[in-house]
Structure 1
Protein backbone atom coordinates (compact mmCIF):
# COMPACT_ATOMS: atom_id res chain seq x y z
CA UNK A 1 0.00 0.00 0.00
CA UNK A 2 1.42 3.45 -0.86
CA UNK A 3 2.52 5.49 2.15
CA UNK A 4 -0.08 8.19 1.66
CA UNK A 5 -3.08 5.87 1.45
CA UNK A 6 -5.32 5.61 4.51
CA UNK A 7 -4.97 2.32 6.36
CA UNK A 8 -7.75 -0.21 6.19
CA UNK A 9 -7.03 -1.90 9.54
CA UNK A 10 -7.69 1.05 11.84
CA UNK A 11 -4.01 1.79 12.56
CA UNK A 12 -2.30 4.92 11.23
CA UNK A 13 0.06 4.55 8.28
CA UNK A 14 3.81 4.83 8.80
CA UNK A 15 3.61 8.23 7.08
CA UNK A 16 1.00 9.52 9.55
CA UNK A 17 2.98 8.15 12.50
CA UNK A 18 6.08 9.96 11.28
CA UNK A 19 4.19 13.23 10.73
CA UNK A 20 2.82 12.99 14.28
CA UNK A 21 6.29 12.24 15.67
CA UNK A 22 7.74 15.38 14.09
CA UNK A 23 4.90 17.49 15.53
CA UNK A 24 5.43 15.96 18.99
CA UNK A 25 9.18 16.63 18.93
CA UNK A 26 8.68 20.19 17.66
CA UNK A 27 6.26 20.87 20.53
CA UNK A 28 8.35 19.28 23.29
CA UNK A 29 11.89 20.05 22.10
CA UNK A 30 11.78 23.09 19.81
CA UNK A 31 15.57 23.67 19.76
CA UNK A 32 16.44 20.02 19.20
CA UNK A 33 13.68 19.55 16.60
CA UNK A 34 15.71 21.49 14.05
CA UNK A 35 18.23 18.64 14.11
CA UNK A 36 15.60 15.92 13.47
CA UNK A 37 15.08 15.13 9.82
CA UNK A 38 13.62 12.48 7.55
CA UNK A 39 15.65 10.32 5.19
CA UNK A 40 13.25 9.66 2.32
CA UNK A 41 14.57 6.27 1.21
CA UNK A 42 11.22 4.51 1.03
CA UNK A 43 7.93 5.22 -0.62
CA UNK A 44 6.50 4.68 -4.05
CA UNK A 45 8.44 6.24 -6.91
CA UNK A 46 8.54 5.84 -10.62
CA UNK A 47 11.49 3.89 -11.98
CA UNK A 48 13.35 6.93 -13.35
CA UNK A 49 13.24 8.72 -9.99
CA UNK A 50 14.36 5.55 -8.18
CA UNK A 51 17.35 5.15 -10.53
CA UNK A 52 18.30 8.81 -10.10
CA UNK A 53 18.10 8.60 -6.29
CA UNK A 54 20.15 5.40 -6.21
CA UNK A 55 22.88 7.16 -8.19
CA UNK A 56 22.72 10.00 -5.64
CA UNK A 57 23.42 7.56 -2.80
CA UNK A 58 20.08 6.30 -1.56
CA UNK A 59 20.72 2.99 0.24
CA UNK A 60 18.33 0.18 1.10
CA UNK A 61 17.88 -0.28 4.82
CA UNK A 62 18.79 3.23 5.97
CA UNK A 63 16.42 4.26 8.79
CA UNK A 64 13.66 6.83 8.25
CA UNK A 65 14.67 9.53 10.73
CA UNK A 66 17.91 10.95 12.09
CA UNK A 67 18.43 13.16 15.14
CA UNK A 68 21.81 14.76 14.48
CA UNK A 69 22.78 15.44 18.08
CA UNK A 70 25.44 13.53 20.01
CA UNK A 71 24.33 12.30 23.43
CA UNK A 72 25.51 9.77 25.99
CA UNK A 73 28.47 8.60 23.94
CA UNK A 74 26.42 8.17 20.74
CA UNK A 75 27.04 10.27 17.60
CA UNK A 76 23.31 10.62 16.83
CA UNK A 77 20.01 8.73 16.85
CA UNK A 78 18.54 6.88 13.86
CA UNK A 79 14.93 5.70 14.00
CA UNK A 80 13.33 3.19 11.68
CA UNK A 81 9.62 3.98 11.85
CA UNK A 82 7.04 1.23 11.59
CA UNK A 83 3.29 1.20 12.00
CA UNK A 84 1.98 0.28 15.42
CA UNK A 85 0.83 -3.00 13.92
CA UNK A 86 1.92 -4.83 10.81
CA UNK A 87 5.20 -3.16 9.83
CA UNK A 88 7.97 -5.58 8.89
CA UNK A 89 11.66 -4.86 9.45
CA UNK A 90 13.55 -6.00 6.35
CA UNK A 91 16.85 -7.87 6.37
CA UNK A 92 18.56 -4.75 4.96
CA UNK A 93 17.08 -2.59 7.73
CA UNK A 94 18.25 -5.01 10.43
CA UNK A 95 21.75 -5.06 8.94
CA UNK A 96 21.94 -1.27 8.63
CA UNK A 97 20.71 -0.77 12.20
CA UNK A 98 23.34 -3.19 13.50
CA UNK A 99 26.07 -1.46 11.48
CA UNK A 100 25.01 1.99 12.72
CA UNK A 101 25.04 0.83 16.35
CA UNK A 102 28.50 -0.70 15.83
CA UNK A 103 29.71 2.60 14.33
CA UNK A 104 28.73 4.60 17.42
CA UNK A 105 25.24 5.73 16.50
CA UNK A 106 22.11 4.78 18.41
CA UNK A 107 19.74 3.11 15.97
CA UNK A 108 16.41 1.48 16.75
CA UNK A 109 13.07 0.38 15.34
CA UNK A 110 10.02 2.15 16.75
CA UNK A 111 6.43 1.05 16.27
CA UNK A 112 4.34 4.19 16.19
CA UNK A 113 4.96 7.81 17.12
CA UNK A 114 4.61 7.24 20.86
CA UNK A 115 7.40 4.64 20.91
CA UNK A 116 9.58 6.85 18.70
CA UNK A 117 8.96 9.90 20.90
CA UNK A 118 9.93 7.84 23.96
CA UNK A 119 13.16 6.78 22.20
CA UNK A 120 13.97 10.44 21.49
CA UNK A 121 13.08 11.51 25.02
CA UNK A 122 15.33 8.82 26.51
CA UNK A 123 18.12 9.67 24.07
CA UNK A 124 18.04 13.37 24.98
CA UNK A 125 18.22 12.72 28.76
Structure 2
Protein backbone atom coordinates (compact mmCIF):
# COMPACT_ATOMS: atom_id res chain seq x y z
CA UNK A 1 0.00 0.00 0.00
CA UNK A 2 1.32 3.43 -0.93
CA UNK A 3 1.46 5.94 1.91
CA UNK A 4 0.50 9.51 1.24
CA UNK A 5 2.15 12.33 3.17
CA UNK A 6 -0.82 14.52 4.06
CA UNK A 7 1.56 17.38 4.88
CA UNK A 8 3.39 17.31 1.53
CA UNK A 9 2.63 20.31 -0.66
CA UNK A 10 0.17 19.60 -3.47
CA UNK A 11 1.98 19.58 -6.79
CA UNK A 12 0.17 21.21 -9.67
CA UNK A 13 0.69 20.91 -13.39
CA UNK A 14 1.18 24.68 -13.44
CA UNK A 15 4.03 24.50 -10.91
CA UNK A 16 5.68 21.60 -12.74
CA UNK A 17 5.48 23.37 -16.10
CA UNK A 18 6.78 26.62 -14.59
CA UNK A 19 9.74 24.68 -13.17
CA UNK A 20 10.51 23.32 -16.65
CA UNK A 21 10.45 26.84 -18.09
CA UNK A 22 12.66 28.11 -15.23
CA UNK A 23 15.17 25.36 -16.13
CA UNK A 24 14.91 26.32 -19.82
CA UNK A 25 15.62 29.95 -19.02
CA UNK A 26 18.69 28.96 -16.99
CA UNK A 27 20.00 26.68 -19.77
CA UNK A 28 19.53 28.92 -22.83
CA UNK A 29 23.14 30.12 -22.69
CA UNK A 30 24.32 26.49 -23.03
CA UNK A 31 21.59 25.32 -25.42
CA UNK A 32 20.45 28.36 -27.46
CA UNK A 33 17.82 26.25 -29.22
CA UNK A 34 15.88 26.10 -25.93
CA UNK A 35 14.60 29.61 -26.59
CA UNK A 36 12.18 27.98 -29.04
CA UNK A 37 10.65 25.70 -26.39
CA UNK A 38 7.27 27.25 -25.72
CA UNK A 39 4.00 26.71 -23.93
CA UNK A 40 0.71 26.14 -25.68
CA UNK A 41 -1.82 27.69 -23.27
CA UNK A 42 -4.71 25.37 -24.02
CA UNK A 43 -5.82 24.29 -20.55
CA UNK A 44 -6.92 26.06 -17.45
CA UNK A 45 -10.12 27.62 -16.19
CA UNK A 46 -11.31 30.77 -17.91
CA UNK A 47 -14.37 32.97 -17.86
CA UNK A 48 -16.96 32.26 -20.56
CA UNK A 49 -16.13 35.27 -22.76
CA UNK A 50 -12.40 34.46 -22.78
CA UNK A 51 -13.10 30.77 -23.46
CA UNK A 52 -15.36 31.63 -26.43
CA UNK A 53 -12.80 34.06 -27.85
CA UNK A 54 -9.94 31.57 -27.50
CA UNK A 55 -12.00 28.83 -29.14
CA UNK A 56 -12.72 31.16 -32.07
CA UNK A 57 -8.96 31.84 -32.29
CA UNK A 58 -8.18 28.14 -32.58
CA UNK A 59 -7.66 26.77 -29.08
CA UNK A 60 -8.12 23.03 -29.52
CA UNK A 61 -8.78 20.34 -26.92
CA UNK A 62 -6.00 17.81 -26.48
CA UNK A 63 -3.04 19.89 -27.69
CA UNK A 64 0.03 19.18 -25.49
CA UNK A 65 1.40 21.72 -23.01
CA UNK A 66 4.88 22.30 -24.45
CA UNK A 67 6.28 22.33 -27.97
CA UNK A 68 9.91 22.41 -29.08
CA UNK A 69 10.06 22.75 -32.89
CA UNK A 70 13.61 21.41 -33.03
CA UNK A 71 14.27 18.58 -35.50
CA UNK A 72 16.39 15.76 -34.13
CA UNK A 73 17.28 12.70 -36.21
CA UNK A 74 13.98 11.04 -37.12
CA UNK A 75 11.74 13.56 -35.31
CA UNK A 76 10.37 16.86 -36.60
CA UNK A 77 10.00 18.26 -33.07
CA UNK A 78 9.06 17.44 -29.48
CA UNK A 79 5.73 17.82 -27.70
CA UNK A 80 5.32 17.30 -23.96
CA UNK A 81 2.11 16.84 -22.00
CA UNK A 82 2.65 17.45 -18.28
CA UNK A 83 0.57 15.65 -15.69
CA UNK A 84 0.84 15.11 -11.95
CA UNK A 85 -0.25 11.83 -10.38
CA UNK A 86 -2.96 10.64 -10.25
CA UNK A 87 -3.99 12.61 -13.36
CA UNK A 88 -3.75 10.91 -16.73
CA UNK A 89 -4.11 12.28 -20.26
CA UNK A 90 -7.67 12.77 -21.47
CA UNK A 91 -8.93 10.86 -24.49
CA UNK A 92 -8.44 14.03 -26.58
CA UNK A 93 -4.86 14.39 -25.34
CA UNK A 94 -4.06 10.73 -26.02
CA UNK A 95 -5.53 11.03 -29.51
CA UNK A 96 -3.52 14.19 -30.26
CA UNK A 97 -0.28 12.68 -28.90
CA UNK A 98 -0.79 9.54 -31.00
CA UNK A 99 -1.49 11.66 -34.08
CA UNK A 100 1.67 13.72 -33.49
CA UNK A 101 3.68 10.49 -33.22
CA UNK A 102 2.19 9.25 -36.49
CA UNK A 103 3.32 12.49 -38.16
CA UNK A 104 6.97 12.14 -37.14
CA UNK A 105 7.01 14.10 -33.88
CA UNK A 106 8.22 12.85 -30.53
CA UNK A 107 5.22 13.17 -28.20
CA UNK A 108 5.62 12.26 -24.53
CA UNK A 109 3.68 12.46 -21.27
CA UNK A 110 5.77 13.53 -18.27
CA UNK A 111 4.62 13.31 -14.64
CA UNK A 112 7.01 15.84 -13.09
CA UNK A 113 9.27 18.73 -14.00
CA UNK A 114 12.23 16.43 -13.47
CA UNK A 115 10.86 13.89 -15.93
CA UNK A 116 10.15 16.62 -18.50
CA UNK A 117 13.67 18.02 -18.10
CA UNK A 118 15.14 14.55 -18.59
CA UNK A 119 13.02 14.19 -21.74
CA UNK A 120 14.30 17.54 -23.02
CA UNK A 121 17.92 16.53 -22.32
CA UNK A 122 17.41 13.17 -24.00
CA UNK A 123 15.82 14.82 -27.03
CA UNK A 124 18.53 17.47 -27.34
CA UNK A 125 21.34 14.93 -27.04
CA UNK A 126 19.33 12.26 -28.92
CA UNK A 127 20.95 8.86 -28.57
CA UNK A 128 18.12 6.43 -29.14
CA UNK A 129 14.63 5.76 -27.85
CA UNK A 130 13.48 7.60 -24.70
CA UNK A 131 14.00 6.19 -21.24
Would you say how many aligned residue pairs link Structure 1 and Structure 2? 117
Partner of 1:5: none
Consecutive unaligned residues in structure 2, runs of 5 or more: 1-6, 126-131
- Mapped partners of 1:106, 1:10: distance in 2: 31
Q: What SS is found at the alignment partner of 1:109?
A: strand
**Considering only CA atoms, is the larger Rg found in Structure 1 or Structure 2?**
2
Correspondence list, 1:86-125, <5 A: 86-125=86-125
Q: CA RMSD in A?
A: 1.4
The alignment's TM-score, normalised by the length of structure 2, stands at: 0.84
Cα deviation code 1:43-94 (max 9, x no counterpart): 01011111111111111000000011111221110000112x2222100000
Q: What SS is found at the alignment partner of 2:93?
A: helix
- Mapped partners of 1:108, 1:29: distance in 2: 22
Partner of 1:56: 57
- Mapped partners of 1:115, 1:103: distance in 2: 24
User: Larger relative CO (CA 8 A, sep 6+): 1 or 2?
Assistant: 1
